[in-house]
Amino acid sequence: MFEKVFEKNKHWARSKRAADPEFFEKLARGQSPSILWIGCSDARVPANVIIGADSGTVFVQRNIANQFLAIDINAQAVLQYAIEFLQVPHIVVCGHYDCGGVRAALRNMNHGSPLENWLRNIRDVWRLHYDEIVQFHGEARVRRLVELNVVEQCLNVYKTASVQKRRWETLQKDGKILPQIHGLVYDVANGELKKLPVKQTLLLS
């Protein structure tokens, strides 16, 4: 099974060169992504694939249930690099329906460390929005928590020093506020993205 990885890699590389003989030469010159994608590790939600993006256009950070936490040094470093060095104009936080991490957080059970420690952050979203979430039942409750989790992670991104500094600098220089932060949810059942309302003016200065 694993040996087919190399076979498929060679087939993919050949097909790319056939379509564009300079494809890899252009990639080797460097990357200039327009999007930082913070998504879930779920194998059904590959960032480039679901938005039809070419290699080199999306900078990606993925983890269970698309969290962006102050204690996650990896995520913080990815964000800083994307903003300060790659200067991406757009940041996407993308969750997805039927998220195993969100489902697990809704269960009253101990999943063991470190997974249980990670899920605690989703339970904080549940606590913050308890009055709303308890009005939903069954699958509707899971889906709503998926959406609220995305919104909360967008706000976590907003609150970082890197984002605030960059947004203020671009406003002063060009009259534009960049990077823009977008909250999306991917529906694995139909392959479509849904945009969530996220305030773009939070903590501007």
Q: What is the DSSP string of 23-75?
A: HHHHHHT----SEEEEEE--TT--HHHHTTPPTTSEEEEEETT----TT-HHH
- The answer as to whether 36 is a domain residue is yes
In a domain, residue 17? The reply is no
Average pLDDT value for residue range 164-169: 93
Catalytic position from the list 96, 143, 166, 182: 96
Is 182 catalytic? The answer is: no
DSSP 8-class letter at 189: T
Annotated binding site: 40, 42, 96, 99
Entry pTM? 0.93
Strands 35-40 and 90-96: parallel
User: Looking at 94, 99, 143, 154, which residue is catalytic?
Assistant: 99
Domain count, the chain: 1
Catalytic residue, from 17, 29, 42, 137: name it.
Answer: 42
Active-site hit among 14, 17, 44, 120: 44
Count CA atoms closer than 13 A to 201's CA, side-chain side.
Answer: 0
CATH code: domain of residue 184: 3.40.1050.10
Task: For residue 130, tell me if it sits in a domain.
Answer: yes
**HSE toward the beta carbon, residue 105, CA cutoff 13 A:** 25
| Domain range enclosing 74 | 23-196
At residue 33 the predicted structure's pLDDT band, cuts being 50, 70 and 90, is very high
- The pLDDT tens digits for 50-104 are 999 999 999 999 999 999 999 999 999 999 999 999 999 999 999 999 999 999 9
Is 99 labeled as catalytic in the residue annotation? yes
- Give the SS3 label for residue 183: strand
Binding-site residue ranges for Zn(2+): 40, 42, 96, 99
| Residue 11 located in a structural domain | no
Of the pLDDT bands very low, low, confident and very high (cuts 50, 70, 90), residue 109 is: confident
Active site residue 96: yes
Domain membership of residue 5 (yes or no) is: no
